[in-house]
Amino acid sequence: LMSGVTLVNQVRRIPGIRGEVPVLAITAFDDPARRVELFRLGVNDYVHKPVAAEELAARTRNLISHFRLLKDVHSARVSAEAEREVAHTALAYRASHDMLTGLANRWAFEQHLASLLENEKQGLRHGLVLIELTALRAVNDGAGHEGGDALVREIGKRIRAAIPEGTFAARLEGSRLAVILAGETAADIGTAMEQLLTAVTGSDFLWREHRYPVTALAGGTASLN
């Protein structure tokens, strides 16, 4: 059989709000030393034998009320911490991503490129392709900046759908994009570059019943390291 002392010790070791569940002790001892010992163990309140039903009910209601208040405070604190974490994550995302395309921004690209050049991986090559989206000016002229933004968003989707694992893509500014590709050989990277450009320019951009050819200029190197 488990003693009351052992039970209280085990309850108080439970992490989180469950370990704060109120404990009401019933004891035959009513001296100050015993009361202090009970409170040190983690007992919230106690009832002295013989137990009076009304006193037991009143003390139980008080403990339940206090525990509900504690749970509310705990929930509010957890919610606040969760909100701060969400806000921090969102802020970190905005700091490193272009909001229009969902790709990395220029700052993140420069950080990634610098890290890549400093920490070369054996057996893996990297290539860089720079893309100038020349179609953006034509779309801006014909459909306004709303249409131009829609084109940039569409190109972001196409790039994210086309790039393989290990690829880093960024919008540097305006119509300029950069993609870092990984492969075992320069030929592999060259093939990946061709596939990427086909994905970007392979189909027209449709905006309010008007079609615009997606034109782009691209250049790059199949070996960064």
- Quick check: helix, strand or coil at residue 218? strand
CA distance 38 to 44: 8
Q: Are 115 and 108 within 8 A, CB to CB?
A: no
- Quick check: helix, strand or coil at residue 3? coil
Q: Looking at the predicted structure, is the pLDDT value of residue 67 above 90?
A: no
> What six digits make up the tokens of 51?
């137990």
pLDDT classification of 122: cutoffs 50, 70, 90: low
Determine how many CB atoms are found less than 10 A away from the CB of residue 189.
24
pLDDT higher for 16 or 195? 195
Strand pairing report for 24-27 and 210-212 = unpaired
What local confidence, expressed as pLDDT, does residue 105 receive?
A: 95
Q: Looking at the predicted structure, is the pLDDT value of residue 39 above 90?
A: no
Q: Are 168 and 159 within 8 A, CB to CB?
A: no
How confident is the model over 197-225, as pLDDT tens digits?
999 999 999 998 899 999 999 887 766 65
Q: What is the pTM of this model?
A: 0.62
- DSSP 3-state percent helix, strand, coil across the chain (nearest 5): 55, 20, 25
Q: Are 180 and 128 within 8 A, CB to CB?
A: yes
* Amino acid type, 118: E
DSSP state, 216?
-
What local confidence, expressed as pLDDT, does residue 225 receive?
A: 58
How confident is the model over 125-170, as pLDDT tens digits?
888 999 999 999 999 999 999 999 999 999 999 999 998 877 899 9
What local confidence, expressed as pLDDT, does residue 216 receive?
A: 93
> What six digits make up the tokens of 1?
């059989």
Taking CA 20 as the corner, what is the angle to CA 15 and CA 23, rounded to the nearest 5 degrees?
Answer: 130
CA distance 78 to 16: 11
Residue listed under structure tokens 């993609």: 179
Give the mean pLDDT of 40-56: 87
> What six digits make up the tokens of 35?
């009361």
How confident is the model over 68-100, as pLDDT tens digits?
888 888 888 888 888 888 888 888 888 899 999
User: Residue 20: which of 54, 63, 62, 52 has the closest Cα?
Assistant: 63
